[in-house]
Structure 1
């Protein structure tokens, strides 16, 4: 594309020369002029230079030399233009650098303007220090924008009275005049101490990079191509010299500052620091576009010559860095193997938000001559935790166990803004008028909407059936009481509702559910289980739902009902069901879930007319379910143990995204020094952990065993218990392990997928099953380990990792990392527990009886 652009520009100029040449009768002066214009269009083909650079000492006519970088900042009156009406102030007290001894102050909307004669990506920096002055700089509040981008909004420097703040951005700039607009808020002013604007090497920031989605939809790859990076601005959020010291701007060819990573490390005692004694050779020039580093990518000896590393497969190094929520960021990771004498020995995993992102060390585009500095760029959207979690972890399959990181940069993407209101206003106060008018009009519209909604609500309430409606037969034991089902104990004593601490905003009126299910018509039943019937329904807002209703008037399932609401109202994850609502009116116990179009995982495996799932689809479903269980185990205070993992409790949406459901038997993990929870045995035969059954000591590894059975179901497409088979084949887990030990596991694979299996993928998957089904819980992997193995099996199936059969026979590295955005559940420690031997002889539902929840609001559900 870049070559095409160059050819296009040259073609345009050649056409211009041709036209002008014949128009002016071979006019030599004009021809010379055009030649000069052509030469001014720089293609950077002969090396990078800093012809276009501005370092401006604002508010002063004198030059100032920066103490740290050594650069000379020129007085603003000599190189650039700025708005009239501004004023200057100076500071005579001690400052970190002479560039902070003056400031230009703008009492109204004003600008700085820079002539640009070379188009490209520029780095721009704004320096602020609110030194003591008559204007009281710390009280300023203002916006700063450049064409198409708002860089600072409602900015105040009140926290920067002693040390300066430097805001750094990467912006693509066209030929012409480039303007910084300073727009004070009403009754305030704007100021700046220094400005930098200079051209970057052409390939320092690429327009297309790899995009990474930590939780891709089923059928979608987590890696993709992200184009259009340079159509936005990038703001530097973090620049870390990992394992090394602070790097001042004088040691960086682009005058960047690199900071220590210590404060961002999680469990930093696991990370070792190293420093290379020799010099780091560079194999790339200024015009090379990566992944090999050049002299402008980072200071080679200071960044690539230091690192943090680890060489234990059960450990990892994780950094947690604060960022804005739910915003795209460009993450640049710097690597240099300063230990190995040969390439391809050290291969390890890099994770973001505890999800596998890249395999580092096997890139053939990286120089084989060690040490070889290189980098990777990823575009990733931050989640709503306010932090990025970045992890490196050794790969047990590598010849040398080591994971490392040398440097890390995080740049936030700034979307383009409509700044047209700035064009016709020279006074900052007048620009406030449209905002004020908009706010007033918006407020009037909001008031009108509220009045309309209230009138409508009053009208519809009058039309609703009264409490004695004939919609629903009320059990004789109810006596017409309007008490909720959960407010009466089995001994008949009226008590306060056990759900009083639950988010009652999720409560759905019974009449709404009657309407949704056609008064619980039998034709709407889509499943039956021990809890009761499951109905398909449509709410008034058009949302399809699955409504799970207990048998009216029965005393069954109250603890499970309470537990499921308490769990699902407190946690949320892409691969766990999300609660829409519940109803406990008139002795009812009803749970409302989002309708799942594809039903349960078991529906797609055997005894079904549905199309067979491909092996790749099955792997992706297993990965989704493992992510959900991993979050349960590590994402809550003390962790949550599901206790009823099976194929009918793994649900699939229209895109075959897996979600773990049915939390009625869930328990919080151990809260004391024990590694288990003593409790009565509950679960489903065929999936039940034998160690838990014998000892009644529940651990996270009990879920791992059950999940191992699910993995076998997925592979073999048969039930966990099949009494009609010969005795040794009745229990799938026992039969599967026996076949694995005999080396005949391939003989019992689902015939519909036999021809699809990559042998390495199948081998990794079968090893994972074997580890999950170990008799001793301590020998089983964590769910994080299982997730890592499954993701690796999927990569092998996709052909992303090329290995010879049996080259990767060792067990995979653990990935049991804590997940971000954890919502703690202190109330879950009080979950009621009936310690009886409650074990289902089989699955409690034959169809999609458990569908996922959603936090979506429903009409009149609040």
Structure 2
């Protein structure tokens, strides 16, 4: 009876609150209004009007943004041209790190534009050399300079999701003797769904109808924005103040196409369609009212050809391609063309026009090749009712690094701080409903055991509490006590160790922050990895690293000395690795060449560390970012695996984890990339790439090489299958490697690089195979010490039979503390604190 009454109450409440709920939802679906902020006139006290917007002087009292520190003087154009806008007659220069901080009150996709115009002044702005970073993404622009080659400003445009309350744009000189400058900054919100979450992926081999997901968690940089068939569209004529350029300079053959214009209103449409209906903010009327169409001879209806454009893009990079269509060429649908769209001659899409003068667009994610050229073509489909094709507009944006603050589940939602009265009431109604349903569900579930839902990464609270303690979850997403406070290091101690983060002690930069060498008061050398303070980026990685390294200890895993989370700082302190990264000893360095024996020992050590990660007492951990810069060497060249910020735990009785793809291009497991299902075999694949990097001493991706040699793994495997691996090894190893050892090493790498994870060995198997290769090399050296070469007699001997013992017979303690080959005992934990001297640390 009581249960029936409870349900009756809920039904009545729903009837009462439903109108309020609808009012709330309606208030959140208001149409997009072009924003009035943030538009900054840098280096000026005055506001200035430019392209219909008011740019606020950064020296004014506007409280919506702050400039910190305010120590750099503005500069003014000493001889401005009458045609130069006032916006480009002032600039602000920065002789040290300086930031603009914007107060964000609405989450969503933002356009960020940086304006640079090196006008005449006592300070020659064209000599500036600097870096620009934003919250969550260092290196937005690196070693950037602006040469005064024209009278036009250079505008760098980016699109990114912002769901943090304070967004920072930071300028920093690249060298002590240099400086940075900027004339104007724009940071404003774009319409909903301006950038999709995913798009069809077109690889170098075409498309397998797979999607590229996570676009909203990436930064996009505008490369090309083209008004096809029309003239230039200046910012004042665009709905979002964009600049569109004519397409003629990109055409391969101008005689194949002609311009088409339309003087009737464009018919914007809403609703569902096979294509994406456009609106005036996706592209303005000026784009859709012009087009390029085939320049056919009306008397020859059999004439058929494609119109082709070529665009310079970043080599071997990923780009978002947006193509715009609006049929302004046809008199009726009965004679409307069916168009084939071609991308790089490896992918085609048939487009059937379903309405006239109604604009739509298509998005593709395209992986560029080594040519640095993206080709787009259109032509009539063979079944087209009319021999014609057309294109109205085109945009290309490079997909840059991932933003560390963006939550994929919430990245498309917006937060409106200034709520209407109706939305407040509606919101309260929703809260009431949720609470009632929650209470009922709680009663129904009472007494039942909780069940895990998704396999989740380690997460943390949005910010750090005033006393700096991190609220945590275990690597299995279950609650545990707070982190070991014995690992906490006072901020004052870290400052002292690094001499207040002296630039002279800076030894690396990465996505998490800067890495400094330091010395603690007890004399211990350490590496200090410090995030950019106050911005909140890297919180998941910060906690993951602490949780992983505070629970596992192994000779071949880098040791965590401690962490600091005072004053909203995120600082990790590691053991210092005197010899730096494995990569630094392989190529692009003046360091002495590693011998084959040293390389084998380093690979064996790293493999042991990974094997312990995969099989240790914590239930198994997948590193997810194995590469030569994450394998560090101590003073005795002992290898240690480092950088666990992307690590994920493996769950018992679970073969894989479905997760957004993360890692480093060139090392990434193709099966993981294709299925988004992560397993420990993904680490095995990455380690196989490292083995080839060790063998050949060259980068895993080298765009400067011929296409067949560009990808190290693909190139070396061709020679491995021919049985001619010795032809591609590091030239410094020629004549110093026994062929039996080389053959076993090559077979091991080949097994690691199998296309399917199930066909790859475990890291325990890899350890065994590498030790076998080491014994073969040692045997050859002992047999013929004066003829240790790829041509010695030992290389013709059959591989010796060595009894193999299962890797799982080793206990965790044995894995943790193996004896060193030189006979010395295992280094104690108190002796190994160090870490990261990497130039490209995370």
| TM-score, normalising length: structure 1 | 0.46
**Is the radius of gyration larger for structure 1 or structure 2?**
1
| TM-score, normalising length: structure 2 | 0.47
